[in-house]
Amino acid sequence: MKLSNRINTINGSARGDDGWGAVYRAQAMSQAGTKITYLAIGDHDEITPPAILDAMDKAARGGATGYAPVNGKLALREALAKRAATRTGVTTRAENIFVGNGGQGALFAALMISCDVGDKVAIIDPHYTTYPATIRAVGAEPVKIAALPANGFQPDADSLMTATKGARALLINSPNNPTGAVYSAQTLEAIRAACLANDLWLISDEVYETQVHNGRHFSPRQLPDMAARTLVVGSLSKSHIMTGFRLGWCMGPEEAIAVMTDLTNTTTYGAPGFIQDAAIAALSDSGIGARTSALYRARRDVALAALASCAAIKVSPPQGAMYLFLDIRATGMSGKEFALALLEAEHISVMPGESFGAGGAGHIRIALTRPAEILTEALKRIAAFAFARAQARI
Ligand code: PLP
C-alpha cells in the first residue's frame, strides 16, 4: 500500500538520511559483540534520583494508574508556573502551562497549534536533529539561518531579520544542542526584533535551561512584548535525569495553551498520572537540577583539558548544555566520515556534525554522558586519531 507523502519526505526529499546512521552502525557492532564507548546520545549514564522513583512508585501504588487530565494535573501545572515565575519574573499561571510527553512532544504541539500547512518556520543551523522533520510533520517547511563558528554559533541580526520575512515562526534553542552556545543579550534582542517586525511566533526550546555553565539562563519570554507570542518548550529529561519519563511542557499565552488539549485528544491523551506525580516530587527538590548541572560543568572542564593540546581539533568551549562540538576539518574528513572511521578504528561512537544541519559540516558532537575517567581516555584517543589523520594529509 502507498505510504503518505508526508512520511516519505519527513527527513527531506524521498526518505532521506535521518542523521542517525553512525549510531545505528554502532548499535549493530555492539549487538555483534564489539564493546563500544558511547558518546553519541544525550542520555545520562546515571539513573533517575531515588526520591523521584519513590514518588512514582508511591503514586502508582496509590492509584494514579488511570487516565490523567489530558493537559496535565493542576498541581503540576501550578508547580511549573510558580517555578517559571520565580526564575523569570514573568507572571505565569497554571493556564499558561500544558504538560506534554517530553520536550519533543511539547515541541510538536507548539508547532501544530502555531503553524499551518505550507508555512515557513525558521531554525538556526546547526540545530537539534529533530527540528526539520518535526516542522515537516506538521506540514510546514524549515528555513535555515546559519550560525557560524566564528561568531560563537550566535545567529546575526541581519540574517535573523531577512530569513524570517514571510515566515510564521522562529524556533530557537539556547543553551544549544549541539553547539553549547548560550544566546547573548544582543542575540536575544535581535531575535525579538525579528519576531516583532515579521509578526512571528517564537518557539523557544529551553530544555537545557538549568545547564548554563556561567551566569543564569535568560528566556526571551522575559523581553518586552514577547510573552504574548512566545511558546517555551521545557522538559525534566536533562535537568532531572528523567529522559525515559517523557515529561515536558509548553508554556505560553492562555489561548494557545488551551487548544493543546484538543490536539492531545487526538494523540496521546497526555502524560501518565504517576509520571506527573514523580515530576511534582522532582520539582520540589531544587537540589537535583543544581547537582546535575554541576556534574556536566565538571565533565566539560575535564573534557576541555583532555583536548587542550590537540592541534587537529578546534574546540569552542560550550557555555551550556551537555555536549562538546568539535571542529575536525584539519583532518580533511567530513563529520560523517570521521565518525564512521573512528567507530571502526577506536570503537567510539560520536554524532557527525552534519546530523545537525549543513552548519555542522566537518564537526563531531560528543555527549558528556560518561564518567570523567572514561571521557578523558576516549577524548585522548579521539585526539590521537584526529592528529594521525591530519598528519597523513600533509
Ligand atoms: N530539544 C533539544 C534541544 C534536545 O536536545 C532534546 C533532546 O535531546 C529535546 C528537545 C527533546 O527532549 P525530551 O527528552 O524532553 O523530549
Tell me the pLDDT tens digit for each residue of 127-163. Answer: 999 999 999 999 999 999 999 999 999 999 999 999 9
Q: Find, among 134, 79, 140, the residue nearest to 115 by Cα.
A: 140
Q: What 3-state class would DSSP assign to 390?
A: helix
Instruction: Ligand 1 pocket test: pick from 207, 323, 325 the residue with the most ligand atoms within 8 Å of its Cβ.
Output: 207
- Gap between the Cα atoms of 177 and 127, Å rounded: 7
Position 212 scores a pLDDT of 96
- Gap between the Cα atoms of 349 and 25, Å rounded: 9
Neighbours of 300 (CB within 10 A): 23
Position 24 scores a pLDDT of 92
Rounded mean pLDDT, 5-33:
84
Instruction: Ligand 1 pocket test: pick from 130, 204, 237 the residue with the most ligand atoms within 8 Å of its Cβ.
Output: 237
- Banded model confidence at residue 15, pLDDT cuts 50, 70, 90: low
pLDDT per position as a tens digit, 70-85: 999 999 999 999 999 9
**E-strand spans in the chain?**
37-38, 97-101, 120-125, 141-146, 169-173, 201-205, 230-235, 247-251, 314-315, 323-327, 348-349, 351-352, 363-367
- Banded model confidence at residue 12, pLDDT cuts 50, 70, 90: confident
Find how far residue 287's CA is from the centre of its chain: 22
Rounded mean pLDDT, 15-36:
86
3-state helix, strand, coil in the chain (%, to 5): 45, 15, 40
Q: How many residues does the chain have?
A: 394
Give me the residues paired with residue 353 across strands. none
Q: Which three cell numbers stand for residue 89?
A: 519574573
- Gap between the Cα atoms of 139 and 116, Å rounded: 7
Neighbours of 11 (CB within 10 A): 16
CA of 389 to the centre of ligand 1 (A): 33
Whether the pLDDT of residue 263 is over 60: the answer is yes
- Banded model confidence at residue 47, pLDDT cuts 50, 70, 90: very high
- Banded model confidence at residue 16, pLDDT cuts 50, 70, 90: low
Q: Which residue has the higher pLDDT, 171 or 214?
A: 171
Whether the pLDDT of residue 378 is over 80: the answer is yes
Q: Whose CA is nearest to atom 7 of ligand 1?
A: 42
pLDDT per position as a tens digit, 197-207: 999 999 999 99
Position 314 scores a pLDDT of 95
Q: Are 124 and 274 in contact (CB under 8 A)?
A: no
Output DSSP code: residue 226: T
Q: Which three cell numbers stand for residue 291?
A: 547537582
CA of 253 to the centre of ligand 1 (A): 22
- Banded model confidence at residue 388, pLDDT cuts 50, 70, 90: very high
Whether the pLDDT of residue 64 is over 60: the answer is yes
- Gap between the Cα atoms of 256 and 260, Å rounded: 7
Instruction: Ligand 1 pocket test: pick from 235, 242, 246 the residue with the most ligand atoms within 8 Å of its Cβ.
Output: 235
Q: Which amino acid is at 377?
A: E
Q: Which three cell numbers stand for residue 74?
A: 493542576
Give, for 215, the enclosing helix (H) or strand (E): none
Q: Which residue has the higher pLDDT, 19 or 186?
A: 186
Whether the pLDDT of residue 17 is over 80: the answer is no
CA of 303 to the centre of ligand 1 (A): 22
Q: Whose CA is nearest to atom 15 of ligand 1?
A: 103
Among 19-28, 70-79, 257-266, 347-356, which is the least confidently predicted range?
19-28
Output DSSP code: residue 98: E
Position 393 scores a pLDDT of 81
Whether the pLDDT of residue 185 is over 80: the answer is yes
- Ligand 1 binding residues, C-beta < 6 A: 42, 102-104, 128, 173, 177, 205, 207, 235, 237, 243, 248
> Which atom of ligand 1 is nearest to 247's Cα?
15
The torsion angle over the Cα atoms of residues 57, 60, 63 and 68, rounded to 10 degrees, is 140
Q: Are 354 and 126 in contact (CB under 8 A)?
A: no
pLDDT per position as a tens digit, 110-127: 999 999 999 999 999 999
- Considering only the C-alpha atoms of the chain, give the largest distance between any 2 of them, rounded to a whole number of Å: 67
- Gap between the Cα atoms of 343 and 32, Å rounded: 14
Whether the pLDDT of residue 349 is over 90: the answer is yes
CA of 178 to the centre of ligand 1 (A): 11
pLDDT per position as a tens digit, 282-340: 999 879 999 999 999 999 999 999 999 888 999 989 999 999 999 999 999 999 999 99
Pair type for strands 348-349 and 351-352:
unpaired
Instruction: Ligand 1 pocket test: pick from 124, 177, 217 the residue with the most ligand atoms within 8 Å of its Cβ.
Output: 177
Whether the pLDDT of residue 14 is over 60: the answer is no
CA of 246 to the centre of ligand 1 (A): 10
Q: What 3-state class would DSSP assign to 199?
A: coil
Q: ∠ at Cα 125 (119, 127), nearest 5°?
A: 85
Position 309 scores a pLDDT of 87
